[in-house]
């Protein structure tokens, strides 16, 4: 149990286009999901906390108009990179907070974005 999926696993896009990444909790409901970003050979940095039915909370330095997060249901959060540029190329990983009473979060497999 407690599986989190991400789609797509890899995406290549042209500069200026928008890219949507989906994060789904497959067998549990997640009221909270987290989005992390990882540059090559670097650590994971939290971008934002996504709460179902409300606005995401962004970390300092993360542009909320650039990285749109929508958590419309208890099993799905989406991250849209708007007007992507090469510097947005990165590995994006989501995680989902486990159900109440289970003190843990589960990670998706990640999405590798390459902006040409």
Residue appearing with tokens 């958590």: 71
Tokens (6 digits) for 31: 């009221």
Distance CA 103, CA 95 (A): 13
Phi, psi of 60 (to 5 degrees): -60, 135
Taking the complex as a whole, how short is the minimal distance between the CB of residue 105 and another protein, in angstroms?
Answer: 5
Q: Report the residue number, 14 or 40, with the smaller CB distance to another protein.
A: 40
- Output the smallest distance, CB 95 to another protein, in A: 8
Give CA–CA dist 109/88, Å, rounded: 19
Shorter beta-carbon distance to another protein: residue 1 or 14: 1
Interface with another protein (CB under 8 A):
32, 34, 41-46, 49, 91, 93, 95, 97-98, 102-110, 112
Residue owning tokens 């050979």: 41
Closest approach, Cβ 81 to another protein, in A, equals 18
């Amino acid at each position: 149990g407690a599986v989190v999926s991400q789609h797509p696993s890899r995406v290549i896009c042209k500069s200026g286009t928008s890219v949507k990444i989906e994060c789904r909790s497959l067998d549990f409901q997640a009221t909270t999901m987290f989005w992390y970003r990882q540059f090559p050979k670097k650590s994971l940095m939290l971008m934002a906390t996504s709460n179902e039915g409300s606005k995401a909370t962004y970390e300092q330095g993360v542009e909320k108009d650039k990285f749109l997060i929508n958590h419309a249901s208890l099993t799905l959060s989406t991250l849209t990179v708007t007007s992507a540029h090469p510097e947005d190329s990165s590995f994006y990983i989501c995680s989902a907070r486990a159900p109440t009473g289970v003190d843990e979060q589960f990670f998706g497999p990640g999405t590798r974005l390459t902006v040409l």
